[in-house]
Structure 1
């Protein structure tokens, strides 16, 4: 049984931390809003009053937060993780942040004779609940091997990608493909819809065709029903696209399709859909093409 700290109890952090509890680990949690920790505490977690306290009590400290500035606040702040570290502990960030933001946290963690593992995930809240996420990891290999049993309690597919920021770049690469794929699906659905086909059947055909994928399968229901409750919001996808563009500048990569899709996401946000699931791109295009459901 490991002494695990968990910081960040959003839509992903709650089920992921609960899966660590189910696996028998001693879990202590912190979140900016304590009310969001109630279900995890009810499942057996203990509460800490700060990230610093978590770091002082736990051997493995996980962070799962919304963006890079939040990660730096909970790790590098006065009452942050780094302030509470003692040697030989391991900090694992599972958020989606830029390589530059990640490297800054790594340097601070290593200055305390500890190790930092980058562990962003692939998959939705449903996969988080089912402990079947994909986990992309990079950092010190020996530290990764220590963390691996904890990753296996949360995810089905494990990928060790390298010693530095490789996992960050891989995560951003995946999210640009996910976002652009959803814009392509929106265009296919609206074309068929304007020709008089039934949207539900159109989605079923797409899911059962050569272009079907787990992503397409997850989005059949929201697109068919026209109900876009957020599994992953437009605003979060925009954030990840912007991080990908920063990485593209760093490595000298052209991303024209990603750039076009970023504009479509901006249109969704500008029309009040920023908190909707990013599959709402279909509804945006329907509006642009004069389709009302």
Structure 2
């Protein structure tokens, strides 16, 4: 902020971690709460919600100059109403320089009424005329705007107190109550919800990115034809490394544009031309491949790929032209029982089945540094060695079907609980007034620090959740798989149950496709 603040200025004011809100600097009244702390503050009136608060100077920006910057950071109906109200005020004041806020006038009348009532208590023989305020008509608001009451419906007038915002849990960054509730009774619940400013980023696959590690592996590509179904967060990175290492890949994805884009990139490179083909159904991929990988979002989609209308089993017997069994590799994060059921289906069609679970994030998938956990048909595991070498730094064969999925669930359980604990720590530091950047610097010097938690802590400090390494919905899904497994084994998982509820809540707040570190927004707010 590099402008002089004065009474009457129209501004954008920011309360704590909430988004900037249209406001006006006003003159404090006799009942205004004391300024919090020793910092320079302004008494601010918020348009739309019609509430007041002390706001520190460095959280105030000029309205006109910053209109384009802040007018689109919030999509709630109350925020849109606030924009409309401040624009109406600007127009009215341009027509009449003496125009003032109706809400300010009503507050002054209430103060006069209150003083009159106090005078009547001191001198019962003296009659003081009482000013009657006609209640302004209040339009019914939708659920986003909170609860709305008409003040005239109350039998007796509730005295105004200096802790109106405290009842709604609205305080400044020091935790002190900072304002009065509106005489119109508009709830501040909408202001207490963290806004989602950034949409999650959806990046395209670039075949020429992150090739350093892959080039050091000296991979000899298998001559077999490999199918790949699912180009999501992990799948797209794996396919990129399969193509760059010289494997022939047949692709299917529900969004065909991703497949077409990869094929176009491959055709434009003389070393990769002819390596990529695209098909319109999973069945077509299976028919034209020796080994097919499936990497979709959840168990239901995985089942649809196998037994759906255009699933791989519609190709008939899973045998190649020479009568050898085709291979099917399930890479989706699924529960052990579903994996066993699919294994039986594949084997009944003459095919071979391998469950593969990978440990790592989106960036590790793109770099080719995943950890591969496999179980099932051992011959198929060895047939896929060149693929595993392209996608990861180590591949483990764990035995019969079910062991890879169970191991993956256990590791994801640990990761989810650790991340929720990390978020709670930073939320507590923020409430204590301790700099999150200082906490992060100290954290990285301790033996608590590891690549995963340090990276997530950095995202929490920056509150940059749109670059999803692992989405919130996938993290919560894996915790639910752990709870389902615990039910079968009658093993209590108290911490997992609590963490699962926290992740479910942040998903309900709209952070499904953001990075899982956005769980901080739930524990903080």
Per the normalisation by structure 1, the TM-score is 0.93
Could you report, residue by residue, the CA deviation over 1:95-147 in whole angstroms, capped at 9, with x for unpaired residues? 10111211111111111221111111111100000000111111122221111
Q: Does 1:247 align with 2:485?
A: yes
Question: In 2, Cα distance between the equivalents of 1:155 and 1:83?
Answer: 31
- Which position in structure 2 is the counterpart of 1:283? 521
Question: In 2, Cα distance between the equivalents of 1:197 and 1:154?
Answer: 41
- Which position in structure 2 is the counterpart of 1:110? 347
Question: In 2, Cα distance between the equivalents of 1:39 and 1:73?
Answer: 25
Question: In 1, Cα distance between the equivalents of 2:283 and 2:510?
Answer: 37
Is the contact between residue 94 and residue 121 of structure 1 (CA under 8 Å) also seen in structure 2? yes
Is the contact between residue 131 and residue 156 of structure 1 (CA under 8 Å) also seen in structure 2? yes
Larger radius of gyration between Structure 1 and Structure 2: 2
Q: Does 1:267 align with 2:267?
A: no
- Which position in structure 1 is the counterpart of 2:367? 130
- Which position in structure 1 is the counterpart of 2:384? 147
- Which position in structure 1 is the counterpart of 2:338? 101
User: Which runs of no fewer than 5 residues in structure 1 stay unpaired?
Assistant: 288-293
Is the contact between residue 423 and residue 520 of structure 2 (CA under 8 Å) also seen in structure 1? yes
Q: Does 1:171 align with 2:408?
A: yes
1:88 CA displacement: 1.1
- Which position in structure 1 is the counterpart of 2:393? 156
1:58 match: secondary structure:
coil
Question: In 2, Cα distance between the equivalents of 1:261 and 1:19?
Answer: 34
Could you report, residue by residue, the CA deviation over 1:213-241 in whole angstroms, capped at 9, with x for unpaired residues? 22113213311211112222222222111
The alpha-carbon distance between structure 1 residues 208 and 139, as it changes in their structure 2 partners (threshold 3 A), is farther
- Which position in structure 2 is the counterpart of 1:47? 278
Is the contact between residue 91 and residue 114 of structure 1 (CA under 8 Å) also seen in structure 2? yes
Q: Let me know the Cα RMSD of the aligned residues.
A: 1.4
- Which position in structure 1 is the counterpart of 2:153? none
Could you report, residue by residue, the CA deviation over 1:232-281 in whole angstroms, capped at 9, with x for unpaired residues? 22222221111111111122211100001011112212222222211112
- Which position in structure 1 is the counterpart of 2:427? 190
- Which position in structure 1 is the counterpart of 2:51? none
Is the contact between residue 364 and residue 370 of structure 2 (CA under 8 Å) also seen in structure 1? yes
Is the contact between residue 238 and residue 391 of structure 2 (CA under 8 Å) also seen in structure 1? yes
